[in-house]
Amino acid sequence: MPSLKNSIDYDNWAEQIPNTVWINSKGKIKHSLDKKLQLPASEWENPLMEYHSERLQNLYFTDRRDKKKRTAIALTSSRGCPLSCSFCAIVAADKEGPKWRAVEAETLVAWIGEALNSYDFQHIYIMDANFFVKKERVLAFSRGLHKLRGGTLTWSSSSTVGYLLKIRHELPTLVLQGLRLVEMGIEVGSQSQLDYMNKRVSVQNNIDAIKALQKNNIDIGLDFIMFYHDQKKQEIIDNLIFLVSAGVTEHESFDHYFNIMMLYPGTPVRHNLENSIGEKLSLEKLPFSRDFIDNYDVKKIYSTFIDDFAKPWLGKLEAAISSNLRVLSQSKSKSLKAQLSLMNIYLRHMPFIVLWELSHAKKHAPIEVIVPQFSNYTHLIESLLHRKDEATIARKIVEIGTTGVGGRSGELISKIS
Ligand code: SF4
């Protein structure tokens, strides 16, 4: 950047750079000329060498396989995505068709090698929208990374189901070479919804991809859209049944129960909605997706789930589970550990049970009436948060059965991918 004496110099300088948006000294948003420019991946600079953010330098990864907390670094090695899911902002960013471009595996490994000379890190978060697009590139990257620092580095990234399935037989090798977590764009649990979102996979493909990760003890980041404006009540039930079939009802994060599809500008779902309501939605801020839920039952289920359960209780539920984990880690009593572990399984099923009951209610009523177990749960949570004697509380273990094995932003949750 040249030396700039004042804000007018700055404005003149920014004006010369195509596709720039900035706020000038008078607080006005300015745009430079629009130009169809894309820097070829071969000319990208090593992003890790401009690594000044204090927040990023405090990044960690919890490695469950090696049972350690690793210092981490994050970077992106590709842009765009070859797919075109109907809700995804990437579709709008690459308007003329999906244009995925990426640095070569060797370049990526060389970037990381160069960064190792300046920073201390043991894990690499690869933040690409869809890292697993080219199988040979992933395999070459993983092999190359394993040659750095005596093979002690680990990594995580994201994939869509189709690409993950193409590499499933190589997963054991990738794990040995450091793969620890894959964020999967599963999104929904029924074919009608997968087709609506243009996911180009089947429900069985989704289950197979999750099982392949589980079988190899690779942690899963579950991208899931439980609700959207065009949905039917049965589709919420289908999503819940899918979570059971895929064995993720005890998934560590609860986000997937609460995500609602965001209506990003330039996406097919937003165009369709604008056509059906006969007006263009404002570009100034993202609309509240819940305002556009069309089906009365879905609207009611969503409002009750978010306003009467998630907002007042989700934070407390998470705190109660953490509190149990703390006691568990300090206790020497096997029976107390067993009771608290079971209690946490019971607690982890609460969002599922609440949403299941709401989706099956014959008529609308307060949440405590629709969900018979609701007050058992809330009493247990309160008692755990005000615990005095852990052993006594553990004996309160709940008599009600649980469901088996196991997303937040927007108003509570939103998602892009
Ligand atoms: S949601 Fe994920 S897979 Fe779909 S277009 Fe966006 S980045 Fe690609």
Q: In this predicted model, what pLDDT tens digit does every residue of 96-121 receive, in sequence order?
A: 666 899 999 999 999 999 999 988 89
In-domain check, residue 253: no
- Which range (81-85, 93-97, 218-222) has the least confidence? 93-97
130, 157, 158, 225, best to mutate for ligand 1 pocket (most atoms within 8 Å of CB): 130
pLDDT band of residue 144 (cuts 50, 70, 90) is: very high
Block residue for tokens 């404005």: 11
Tell me, yes or no, whether 4 and 47 share the same domain. Answer: no
Q: Which atom of ligand 1 is nearest to the CA of 187?
A: 1
Tell me, yes or no, whether 13 and 140 share the same domain. Answer: no
Pocket of ligand 1 (CB under 6 A): 81, 83-85, 88, 90, 129-130, 160, 185, 417
Residue 75: per-residue pLDDT: 93
Residue 410: per-residue pLDDT: 41
The CATH number of whichever domain residue 132 belongs to comes to 3.20.20.70
Residue 55: per-residue pLDDT: 57
Tell me, yes or no, whether 126 and 216 share the same domain. Answer: yes
Summarize pLDDT for 289-320 with one digit per residue, the tens: 999 999 999 999 999 999 999 999 999 999 99
Gap from CA of 132 to ligand 1 centroid (Å): 12
Q: Which atom of ligand 1 is nearest to the CA of 91?
A: 5
Looking at ligand 1, which residue's alpha carbon is closest to its atom 1?
417
In-domain check, residue 185: yes
Residue 175: per-residue pLDDT: 98
In-domain check, residue 294: no
Distance (Å, whole) CA 267 – CA 228: 14
**3-state SS class at 348:** helix
Residue % of the chain over a pLDDT of 70: 89
Residue 49: per-residue pLDDT: 82
Gap from CA of 325 to ligand 1 centroid (Å): 35
pLDDT band of residue 81 (cuts 50, 70, 90) is: very high
Tell me, yes or no, whether 96 and 185 share the same domain. Answer: yes
- Of 196, 224, 252, the one marking the end of a domain is 224
Tell me, yes or no, whether 194 and 151 share the same domain. Answer: yes
Tell me, yes or no, whether 1 and 57 share the same domain. Answer: no
Is residue 246 over pLDDT 50?
Answer: yes
Tell me, yes or no, whether 134 and 50 share the same domain. Answer: yes
Residue 27: per-residue pLDDT: 83
In-domain check, residue 123: yes
pLDDT band of residue 1 (cuts 50, 70, 90) is: low
Is residue 400 over pLDDT 50?
Answer: no
User: Where is pLDDT greater, at 126 or 400?
Assistant: 126
Q: Answer yes or no: are the C-beta atoms of 57 and 50 closer than 8 Å.
A: no
Residue 170 DSSP one-character state: G
Summarize pLDDT for 281-297 with one digit per residue, the tens: 998 889 999 999 999 99
Tell me, yes or no, whether 32 and 58 share the same domain. Answer: no
pLDDT band of residue 34 (cuts 50, 70, 90) is: confident
| Size of the chain, expressed as the number of residues it contains | 417
**3-state SS class at 61:** strand
- Of 173, 200, 224, the one marking the end of a domain is 224
Distance (Å, whole) CA 415 – CA 85: 13
Tell me, yes or no, whether 101 and 21 share the same domain. Answer: no
Is residue 212 over pLDDT 90?
Answer: yes
Distance (Å, whole) CA 278 – CA 347: 44
- The range of the structural domain enclosing residue 8 comes to 1-37
With CA atoms as reference, report the closest residue to 134 among 98, 151, 159. 159
What value does the CA radius of gyration of the chain take, rounded to a whole number of Å?
Answer: 24
Distance (Å, whole) CA 62 – CA 223: 19
Cβ neighbors of 368 (< 8 A, separation 6 or more) are 374, 375
Tell me, yes or no, whether 9 and 55 share the same domain. Answer: no
Q: Answer yes or no: are the C-beta atoms of 61 and 72 closer than 8 Å.
A: yes
In-domain check, residue 283: no
Mean pLDDT of the chain: 89
In-domain check, residue 260: no
Total number of domains in the chain: 2
- Which range (4-13, 215-224, 325-334) has the least confidence? 4-13
- Which range (2-11, 20-29, 105-114) has the least confidence? 2-11
Residue 409: per-residue pLDDT: 38
In-domain check, residue 231: no
Gap from CA of 129 to ligand 1 centroid (Å): 7
Q: Which atom of ligand 1 is nearest to the CA of 87?
A: 1
Q: Which atom of ligand 1 is nearest to the CA of 82?
A: 8
Token pair in block for residue 254: 């609860």
Tell me, yes or no, whether 47 and 180 share the same domain. Answer: yes
Distance (Å, whole) CA 129 – CA 81: 7
Q: Which atom of ligand 1 is nearest to the CA of 158?
A: 2
Residue 51: per-residue pLDDT: 60
Residue 307 DSSP one-character state: I
- Of 180, 203, 224, the one marking the end of a domain is 224
In-domain check, residue 85: yes
Tell me, yes or no, whether 158 and 99 share the same domain. Answer: yes
